[in-house]
Structures are given as structure tokens and as C-alpha cells.
Amino acid sequence: HVDDVHMAIWRGAYELRGMEMRQLDSPSREPLFESRNVEISVLWSALLRGQVVARYRVYQPQINFVAGHGGQKAQTGKGANWIEVIKKLSFLRIDRFETFDGTVHYSDPESDPPVNIALTRVDAVVTNLDNSEKQPKERVAHLELHALAVDQAQVAVDLQLDPFADKPDFQL
């Protein structure tokens, strides 16, 4: 679901406001993914070289994972081809993907004791992410992530990977 689409033609961008993705058979009322605003913009410098390349900026994204019990399916997003979902959202090559003030939440209300943990203030940048099938095979994406675990412990991640490899290889 998207509440509104805003076009900024002069700068080659569009915004998806109030974006929400739900897992249909989820045990949770919370969406699997939601964001206040997703901005997708074209890089003019690449366009002048004859390439159509985009940058994503995702504001206040929230991902909610929920355990399943009693025959309910867990809300994990498992089974979805996320590379295909990203390709459908943008027909453009993706140069940079940034998130600002995000949350990754996991809950298991049926466990004893109930589990409710989260990474908050998630700021992440993924570079050299390219959804073009015509790119060389030696492409390596880079993720830099900073967050708070349980609202107090600082987390930093530096990851290199090829997200489009048949058998993903990474260095963390």
C-alpha cells in the first residue's frame, strides 16, 4: 500500500509516501515493512553519460519480524524473492540505498517470557548495489550500518557482498 506518490520532474525524483507491505498470512497486525517516505531519484551525472541510475532514500523504515505459534506462519518475509521486489519498485539501476532513523523489530509474544527486542535509530548506506543483469560479475556491494540495540548498545556493521550471486559470498 502507498498513501501518495509525489513526482518532482525537475529533479528526476518520485516519492512514495506512507508505504506499507503486509504479509497476508501473518500472526501480527504490524506490517512486515513500512516507511514514512521512500524517495527514488535519478542521478543527473549518470544520465548525461547515457546511463539511467537511481538513488534510494528511505525515511523511518520499520521492519517487523514476528514468531508464529499454534499453526500460524511466522512473519519473516521468507519465501519472497526480495531482489525481484526491489526490481519491480525501480526499473532503474540502483547506485545507492540509504535508510534514516529505521527500526528492525522482533517479537514472540507467545514465548515464556515474551520476547520483544529491536534495533533502533538504524542508519544504513548500501553502495555499489546494482540491479542490472548486464553488469560485470565482479561487483561487490558495501553496507555500512549504525544502530542502537535495546535502545542503548551501539551497533556498527561493515559488510561487503554480492547480493545477486547464486550462492552469496560476503565479508562481515
3-state secondary structure of 134: coil
Q: How far is CA 145 from the centre of its chain?
A: 12
pTM: 0.78
3-state secondary structure of 49: coil
List, for residues 56-111, the tens digit of each pLDDT value. 999 999 999 888 776 667 777 666 666 666 666 666 677 889 999 999 999 888 88
List, for residues 10-50, the tens digit of each pLDDT value. 778 889 999 998 887 777 788 989 999 999 888 877 777 77
* Separation CA 54–CA 130 (nearest Å): 10
